[in-house]
């Protein structure tokens, strides 16, 4: 029997309840929720409201389930093998594999893991009625339906308080679990954050500082690709969840509401799947070159409070706008620049952003006016061994949705 442990405030008496889940072999499996021993360090308590009042109390170590979204790729094995290999605890990181599509060979692969994972199946395999010009997007509609069902399972059926979502074509880094465990209290305590992502959209080898694996950032761009959200966010999004293209929907201002995510300098996930609904071209051009972190960073032993908005913004803005302003051509020539940086290249319009981004090798697309990895309009990356900020003029206030 698999145990899913759920953090709960310390209250008198046992706090046990269980949920029945139908598993593949037709048996009913009990998923037990119970409190876990407290092993948080004193300097990073997670504050939880006491049911009797409003005094914050130290919570036990949180359970962070990993939800694997699967369909018809038997290569989910590569994803699950790495998750299980690096998982420090099956109790603190239960793996739930949610399978859509009814693909029997993929189901067999998932089933081969026995009680190391919990296999659930999305029951509605019907086609979705879409307008004729969207027929080619049927796959995106099914993905959106599957996400909604799977997240409802995690938060409602299994009564979890957070989840990390990975898809069946993601391979995780050795410190993937450590990363999310360290950032969970930050996500909990900063209302201006709505997710933690393992992915750097500009995480290609040439664009990252491989000597700074512990470096993390805030970003206004929702990255996805291995990301953590809290139940409270799901309760906000679920009633209006879109029928397709859920990730771009999340990037719209109506959903994002000026909230940010945490993302790493070096990705803690890579995607190995060329087969999927979004065509292989994007994979070939960008995704296949993303660097996966290999050096284990003990994030839980480091202070991550620099990522809280109240500390981060002032430091970030100061660092960006005190960087030497240079022309893009000087960066490309390289020889003209003597100091190790950082340098700033200024863009003033959508078109100048795109030209500079393309020439410097970073992603040039914008979603709802936000550039990939952008924070306050700034894209931070490495270029020929120097830190570069592609930045709007000083005094930035908001994104322009028409820049898309």
User: What percent of the chain stands above pLDDT 90?
Assistant: 78
- Find the mean pLDDT for residues 344-373: 98
pLDDT for 362 equals 97
pLDDT for 286 equals 81
Q: How confident is the model at residue 285 (pLDDT cuts 50, 70, 90)?
A: confident
- Find the mean pLDDT for residues 214-241: 99
Selected residue with higher pLDDT from 30 and 352: 352
CATH code 3.90.550.10 region(s) in the chain: 66-290
pLDDT for 23 equals 46
pLDDT for 279 equals 56
Q: What is the pTM of this model?
A: 0.86
pLDDT for 351 equals 98
CATH of range 316-391; options 3.30.2350.10, 3.10.180.20, 3.20.20.140, 3.30.950.10: 3.10.180.20
**Residue 374 scores a pLDDT above 60:** yes
Q: Which residues are part of the catalytic machinery?
A: 247
Neighbours of 286 (CB within 10 A): 16
CATH code 3.10.180.20 region(s) in the chain: 316-391
**Residue 40 scores a pLDDT above 50:** no
- Contact at 8 Å (CB) between 46 and 59? yes
Report d(CA 371, CA 253) in Å as an integer.
14
Lowest mean pLDDT among 41-55, 65-79, 87-101, 106-120: 41-55
**Residue 331 scores a pLDDT above 60:** yes
Report d(CA 305, CA 339) in Å as an integer.
30
**pLDDT digit string (tens) for 141-185?**
999 999 999 999 999 999 999 999 999 999 999 999 999 999 999
User: What percent of the chain stands above pLDDT 70?
Assistant: 85
Kindly report the average pLDDT of the chain as a whole number: 88
> What burial class does residue 40 get, using C-beta atoms within 10 Å of its C-beta: 0-12 exposed, 13-18 middle, 19+ buried?
middle
The CATH number of 66-290 is 3.90.550.10
pLDDT for 55 equals 34
pLDDT for 273 equals 80
């Amino acid at each position: 029997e698999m145990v899913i442990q759920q953090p709960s405030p310390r209250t008198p008496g046992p706090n046990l309840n269980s949920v029945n889940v139908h598993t593949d072999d037709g048996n009913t499996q009990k998923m037990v929720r119970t409190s876990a021993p407290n092993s948080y360090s004193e300097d990073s308590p997670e504050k939880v409201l006491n049911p009797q009042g409003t005094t914050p109390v130290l919570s036990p170590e949180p359970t962070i389930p990993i939800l694997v979204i699967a369909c018809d790729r038997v290569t989910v094995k590569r994803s699950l093998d790495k998750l299980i290999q690096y998982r420090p605890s099956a109790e603190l990181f239960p793996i739930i594999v949610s399978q859509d599509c009814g693909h029997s060979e993929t189901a067999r692969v998932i089933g081969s893991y026995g009680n190391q994972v919990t296999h659930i199946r999305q029951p509605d395999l019907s086609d979705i009625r879409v307008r004729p010009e969207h027929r080619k997007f049927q796959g995106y509609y099914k993905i959106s339906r599957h996400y909604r069902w799977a997240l409802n399972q995690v938060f409602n059926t299994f009564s979890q308080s957070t989840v990390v979502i990975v898809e069946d074509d993601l391979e995780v880094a050795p410190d993937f679990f450590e990363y999310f465990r360290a950032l969970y209290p930050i996500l909990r305590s900063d209302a201006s954050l709505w997710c933690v992502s393992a992915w750097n959209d500009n995480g290609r080898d040439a664009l990252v500082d491989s000597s700074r694996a512990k470096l993390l950032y805030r970003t206004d761009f929702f990255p996805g690709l291995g990301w953590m959200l809290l139940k409270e966010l799901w309760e906000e999004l679920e009633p209006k969840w879109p029928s397709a293209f859920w990730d771009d929907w999340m990037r719209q201002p109506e959903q994002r509401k000026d909230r940010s995510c945490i993302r790493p300098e070096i990705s803690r996930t890579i995607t190995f799947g060329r087969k999927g609904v979004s065509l292989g071209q994007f994979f070939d051009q960008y995704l296949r070159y993303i660097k996966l972190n290999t050096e284990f960073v003990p994030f839980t032993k480091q202070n991550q409070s620099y990522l809280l908005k109240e500390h981060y913004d002032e430091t970030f803005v100061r660092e960006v706008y005190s960087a030497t302003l240079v022309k893009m051509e000087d960066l490309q020539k390289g020889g003209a620049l003597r100091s190790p940086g950082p340098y700033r290249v200024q863009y003033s319009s959508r078109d100048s952003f795109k030209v500079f981004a393309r020439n410097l090798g970073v992603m040039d697309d914008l979603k709802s006016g936000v550039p990939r990895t952008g924070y306050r309009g700034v894209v931070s990356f490495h270029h020929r061994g120097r830190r570069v900020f592609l930045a709007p003029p000083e005094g930035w206030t908001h994104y322009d949705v028409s820049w898309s």
